[in-house]
Amino acid sequence: MTKVAFQGAPGAYSEEAINQFFGPDVERIPCNTLTDIFFAVENHEAEYGMLPVENAVAGSVAQSYELLMEHDLRIYAEVILRVRHMLLGPPGTKLSEIERVRSHPQALSQCQRYLKRHGFVLEPTADTAASARDLAATPETGVAVIASDLAARISGLEIIDHDIEDYPFNYTRFFVLGTEDPPRAQRNKTSIVFTSPHQPGALYECLGEFAKRGINLTKIESRPRLNRPWQYIFYLDFEGHVKDQECEAAMMGLLRRSLFLKLLGSYPAATTPVIEEHAQQDIAHDRG
């Protein structure tokens, strides 16, 4: 049976991403930290790892990108999960009784308008599903958690309020990590990391290798180099496979212009499902 590592307790959103991509017939290996996901795959304790890398509302997961730089695992696929946050409490808890809410900082950030409207005191924790597990084990009056519907089913907590995220299009992007490259797909995406010389126009010239070949960039982000203060590395995603003729030529051009270049992976591109009901909600929100 395929083994997939993820960060968090059973019921974490990463486990929902595993269910979405792999289906039910895989063994899930919970890890305490994101670093442990990499170790599990590198040490052959798991064949794949499910790594959260960015949220459409709260932004990138900085540690994930730093770990991709430090380790040599390949991106095997990407998964885009629609994240629905639930307010959970011990059975019988009413919304009017809640004073404090616990969850991971990312989940709290994605529900901040809802939380502020109710005047809850926020208590950040290391993990959404673990917050649900711990509250179920030791119920506290006036305390609720934000976690998934899956976490509610596993922990036995009751859903007090549904879909409390601030924006209906709340998606989290995950990378499926492995030790081998995936088969080439009809639609592919490539992720790389590079550094450019510290001189005028250097980054412009690096990105120009893609522009002049008509290659669409889908993400670019700078991060500090941890071993070199005030120097930066760039994470870049673009459409296409590294073995496509134009993409290969762009990579060769970038290699000549950059100081460092690392391929993180070429993998099948995921699509973000568009739900008409949510689209109408978004339009109404903008008009209101």
Instruction: Reply yes or no on whether 175 is catalytic.
Output: no
In a domain, 225, yes or no: yes
CATH number for the domain that contains residue 258: 3.30.70.260
Return the pLDDT at 287.
Answer: 38
In a domain, 282, yes or no: no
In a domain, 147, yes or no: yes
Cα angle for residues 228, 234, 239 (degrees, 5° grid): 160
Q: Distance between CA 244 and CA 131 in Å, rounded? A: 45
In a domain, 67, yes or no: yes
Pairing of strands 217-224, 48-55: unpaired
CATH number for the domain that contains residue 49: 3.40.190.10
In a domain, 278, yes or no: no
In a domain, 274, yes or no: no
Q: In terms of domains, do 74 and 118 share one?
A: no
Q: In terms of domains, do 208 and 257 share one?
A: yes
Instruction: Reply yes or no on whether 195 is catalytic.
Output: no
Return the pLDDT at 274.
Answer: 62
Return the residue matching tokens 């629609």: 82
Identified catalytic residue from 21, 38, 174, 194:
174
* Length of the chain, in residues: 288
Contact between 103 and 147 (Cβ < 8 Å): yes
In a domain, 254, yes or no: yes
Task: For 234-267, give the secondary structure using H, E and C.
Answer: EEEEEECCCCCHHHHHHHHHHHHHCCEEEEEEEE
What letter represents residue 267's amino acid? Answer: Y
What letter represents residue 197's amino acid? Answer: P
Return the residue matching tokens 């994240």: 83
Give the pair of three-digit tokens for residue 203. Answer: 């980054």
pTM for the complete prediction? 0.89
Q: In terms of domains, do 196 and 148 share one?
A: no
Q: Distance between CA 35 and CA 51 in Å, rounded? A: 10
Q: In terms of domains, do 154 and 105 share one?
A: yes
**Residue that terminates a domain, selected from 117, 149, 178:** 178
Walk along the chain (288 residues) and give the pLDDT tens digit of each residue: 999 999 999 999 999 999 999 998 999 999 999 999 999 999 999 999 999 999 988 889 999 999 999 999 999 999 999 999 999 999 999 999 999 999 999 899 999 999 999 999 999 998 999 999 999 999 999 999 999 999 999 999 999 999 999 998 899 999 999 999 999 999 999 999 999 998 999 999 999 999 999 999 999 999 988 777 778 899 999 999 999 999 999 999 999 999 999 999 999 999 876 654 444 455 444 434
Instruction: Give how many domains the chain has, as a whole number.
Output: 3
**Residue that terminates a domain, selected from 112, 147, 178:** 178
Q: Distance between CA 9 and CA 127 in Å, rounded? A: 7
Identified catalytic residue from 93, 172, 190, 195:
172
Give the pair of three-digit tokens for residue 113. Answer: 């308008």
Return the residue matching tokens 């052959």: 44
User: What range defines the domain where residue 221 resides?
Assistant: 188-268
In a domain, 281, yes or no: no
